[in-house]
Amino acid sequence: MTRRQHFLSEMLENIRLPYEAKWDGPAAGGEFRNQVEEEYFQQFVDNTEPQAVILDLACGDGRHTLRVAERVGEVVGLDLSHNSLAKAKKKCSVRDNVTFTHGSIFQLPFRPNTFDGIWFSEAFEYVPPDKRRILLSSLNNVLKDSGILYMSVETWQSPSIITSLKQLWTDFRLFCYWKFIKRKPLLWGEFLYYSPVKRINWSGWHYHVHTSKRTLCKLLDECGFAIEKINLSDDYIYVLCCKASG
């Protein structure tokens, strides 16, 4: 195992641990981060048939799973955290068209052409730069022809140039600290930030990756997706795309 492979193995565990910790705050109840995300949700479900089968990838505690299940035929939620899945199952117990699977987004346990759509919210920031194409290609593989993909992707960019430059500078300093002082085998975009004890009973350095809008568009195109709509808001890139024909 190379240093990079060993590091990524450690980071996968680093990503999982906060979600396995006890959460002292109130459970999320199907809310969206902002109006932009809610508008994307409406467009996502409006572009699916009533009998559609949807994958809620990295579903977390099911805050979006329940909302999607109210509008489509079947929803499959997948997450790496047993704790989050337990919360999601409880939240979605009122629905009989939802099933949950424990697993990694990097090893999807689904056959090709299984889903009419994939809802992938606030988890691409855990995808290492050298794993992005593999992941997006696997999503394309499990989507049916003309299937749709929604993603919200954390970024250093903002509609404000000044805000963007400030966040980029913060990212750069964190990257340099972990790359050159702590000697971690990072790729550009990766960093670790300190997460203090707040609503969860866990604290420590947490792995993250920021993606630029240009990079995301290039990746989606290379992996067989056609972008239908894309917006930048509140430190996130919101994008709705479909599986390209041919």
Query: In 3D, which of 174, 120, 123 has the Cα closest to residue 18?
Result: 123
Copy the structure tokens of residue 2.
């190379």
> Phi and psi for 7 in degrees, rounded to 5?
-60, -45
In angstroms, the CA 85 to CA 91 distance is 10
Beta pairing partners, 232: 237
Q: What pLDDT is stored for residue 19 in this prediction?
A: 87
Q: What pLDDT is stored for residue 181 in this prediction?
A: 97
Q: What pLDDT is stored for residue 28 in this prediction?
A: 46
If one counts the domains in the chain, the total is: 1
Per the structure, the complete domain to which residue 200 belongs is given by 3-243
Residues 214/239, Cβ–Cβ less than 8 Å: no
Q: How many CB atoms lie within 10 A of CB 237?
A: 21
Q: What pLDDT is stored for residue 29 in this prediction?
A: 45
Q: What pLDDT is stored for residue 169 in this prediction?
A: 98
Query: In 3D, which of 102, 100, 103 has the Cα closest to residue 91?
Result: 100
Beta pairing partners, 154: 236
* CATH code for position 143: 3.40.50.150
Q: What pLDDT is stored for residue 245 in this prediction?
A: 81
Q: What pLDDT is stored for residue 246 in this prediction?
A: 65
Q: What pLDDT is stored for residue 92 in this prediction?
A: 95
Q: What is the mean pLDDT of each run of 10 residues along the chain (246 residues)?
A: 94 88 53 90 96 98 94 98 94 96 97 98 97 98 97 96 96 97 96 73 82 98 98 96 89
Q: 184: alpha, beta or left, given left = phi > 0 and alpha = psi -120 to 50?
A: beta
Q: How many CB atoms lie within 10 A of CB 94?
A: 10
Dihedral angle over CA of 209, 141, 79, 129, nearest 10: -10
In angstroms, the CA 143 to CA 136 distance is 11
Residues 105/137, Cβ–Cβ less than 8 Å: no
